Amino acid sequence: MKITYDAGADAMYIYLQGKPGEKVSRTQELGDGIAIDYGPGGAVFGIEILDASHRLGFPRGCPEVSLEQMVFKGSPAR
């Protein structure tokens, strides 16, 4: 999993199975400013959140953030 935040666009993207630059097969809008992208096999590729600072409660203009290789309790380390 990789999570990126672009302060200029105030957009967050959560890559669940995909990687930056990979092709998305289709996008499903869940609501205003939230969308799910699907890969060629139909698996969830990632989630896009627009107006992220407001929706997630952090100050707009935070520096760009990228989180990678997160390990959750009970998950095997990679």
Interval 24-70: pLDDT, tens: 999 999 988 999 999 988 899 999 999 998 888 888 877 655 566 66
- Residue 41's contacts (CB-CB under 8 Å, 6 or more residues apart) are none
The whole-number pLDDT of residue 61 equals 76
Token couple for 7: 């302060």
The whole-number pLDDT of residue 47 equals 95
Q: What is the pTM of this model?
A: 0.75
The whole-number pLDDT of residue 22 equals 82
Map out the domains of the chain as residue ranges.
2-68
User: Residue 10 — pLDDT band, cuts 50, 70, 90?
Assistant: very high
Read off φ and ψ for residue 44, nearest 5 degrees.
-65, 120
- Residue 54's contacts (CB-CB under 8 Å, 6 or more residues apart) are 10, 60
